[in-house]
């Protein structure tokens, strides 16, 4: 059987990437191991989309860090609606708007929002560690934080509405990214200065691929702080703010 399945001559390059390269072949098809591995990765990606966002568990863990968190919901009442109607995930439901209004928050610098997005697995697995890294990075700074907001079935633009309602200068959204076949648990951070309903994606910065096999929690928190400090200088985020944080500081775990 070993003579039927042949390794690709570039097989040794696989150790440098999770991408599907040098799969080998059996006749004109993939070897069985490569096919089974593909099917497993596809199943993990689907599971990441349909997994429940464990907001109550996350809220309790945040309370243990002495952080208050409010649970809200987008206009998408269920997962099917969320996937088929993206606009519903970009707005809060009426009950959630009232809930945030009743908080009667004072003006703060930063509002942190966590949402499942397209990978609840990522939000469940990494958001708490990222929050802790952000806490450490902003220790001994003058920046103030509002209550954390946990959003079920939210998309990126929902951070504009929440940031505006929370009266914050910055919205920081931690959200599960669209799962890939080699990265079903990738978390992203979207930063928006002066969040208001109607902002466009060109007015935000994104820090992507946060997970143990990608960008570390500590480095993501460092990039976020760097971007916020620079955004405060130019009063803007997005295409006007370039991430030039690499090389400015040695990041060590």
The predicted pLDDT at position 109 comes to 97
Check the annotation: does 203 bind a ligand: no
Instruction: Give, in order, the Cα–Cα distances in Å from 106 to each of 67, 102, 164, 166, 231.
Output: 16, 12, 12, 8, 22
The pLDDT of residue 20 is 85
What was the pLDDT predicted at 253? Answer: 45
Reduced 3-state DSSP string for 165-208: HCCEEEEEEEEECCCECCECCCEEEEEEECCCCCCCHHHEEEEE
124 in a structural domain: yes
Examine residue 86 and state whether it is found in any structural domain, yes or no. yes
Q: Average pLDDT of the chain?
A: 92
- Residue 21 counted as domain residue: no
CA distances from 224 to 63, 92, 154, 158, 206 (A): 23, 25, 21, 19, 9
Are 103 and 147 contacting, i.e. CB atoms less than 8 angstroms apart? Answer: yes
In a domain, 15, yes or no: no
Q: Can you give the pLDDT at residue 252? A: 46
Burial of 48 (0-12, 13-18, 19+ CB in 10 A): buried
Total tally of structural domains belonging to the chain = 1
Report if residue 87 sits inside a domain. Answer: yes
206 assigned binding-site residue: yes
DSSP string, 39-84: HHHHHHHHHHHHS---HHHHHHHHHHTT--EEEEEBS--SHHHHHH
Biggest CA–CA distance in the chain, Å, is 71
Q: Has residue 115 been placed in a domain? A: yes
Q: What is the pLDDT of residue 247?
A: 62
Instruction: Please report whether residue 8 resides in a domain.
Output: no
For range 1-14, the mean pLDDT:
75
User: Residue 246: its pLDDT value, please?
Assistant: 81
pLDDT single digits (tens) 37-84:
999 999 999 999 999 999 999 999 999 999 999 999 999 999 999 999
Q: Is 177 annotated as a binding residue?
A: yes
With respect to residue 215, please indicate whether it lies within any of the assigned structural domains. Answer: yes
Q: What is the CATH number of the domain that holds 190?
A: 3.40.50.11240
**pLDDT digits 0-9 by tens, 95-108:** 999 999 888 778 99
Range of the domain at 176: 53-234
Tell me the pLDDT tens digit for each residue of 190-224: 999 999 999 999 999 999 999 999 999 999 999 99
pLDDT tens digits, 165-191: 999 999 999 999 999 888 899 999 999
Sole residue written with tokens 């998408």: 76
Q: In this model, does residue 86 exceed pLDDT 60?
A: yes
């Amino acid at each position: 059987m070993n003579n039927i399945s042949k390794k690709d001559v570039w097989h040794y390059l696989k150790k440098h990437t999770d991408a599907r390269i040098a799969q080998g072949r059996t006749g004109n098809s993939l070897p069985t191991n490569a096919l089974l591995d593909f099917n497993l990765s596809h199943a993990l990606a689907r599971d990441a989309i349909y997994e429940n966002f464990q907001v109550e568990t996350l809220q309790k863990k945040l309370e243990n860090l002495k952080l208050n968190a409010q649970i809200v919901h987008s206009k998408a009442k269920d997962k099917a609606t969320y996937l088929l109607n993206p606009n519903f995930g970009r707005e809060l439901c009426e009950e959630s708007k009232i809930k945030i209004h009743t908080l009667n928050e004072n003006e703060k610098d930063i509002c942190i929002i966590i949402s499942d997005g397209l990978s609840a697995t990522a939000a469940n697995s990494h958001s708490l560690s990222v929050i802790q890294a952000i806490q450490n990075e902003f220790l001994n700074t003058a920046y103030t934080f509002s209550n954390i907001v946990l959003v079920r079935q939210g998309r990126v633009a929902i951070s504009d509405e929440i940031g505006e309602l929370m009266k914050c200068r910055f919205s920081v959204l931690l959200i599960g990214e669209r799962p890939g076949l080699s990265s079903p648990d990738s978390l992203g951070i979207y930063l928006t200065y002066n969040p208001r309903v109607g902002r466009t994606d060109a007015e935000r910065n994104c820090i992507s691929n946060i997970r143990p096999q990608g960008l570390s929690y500590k480095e993501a928190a460092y990039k976020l702080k760097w971007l916020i400090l620079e955004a405060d200088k130019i009063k803007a985020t997005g295409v006007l703010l370039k991430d030039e944080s690499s090389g400015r500081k040695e990041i060590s775990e």
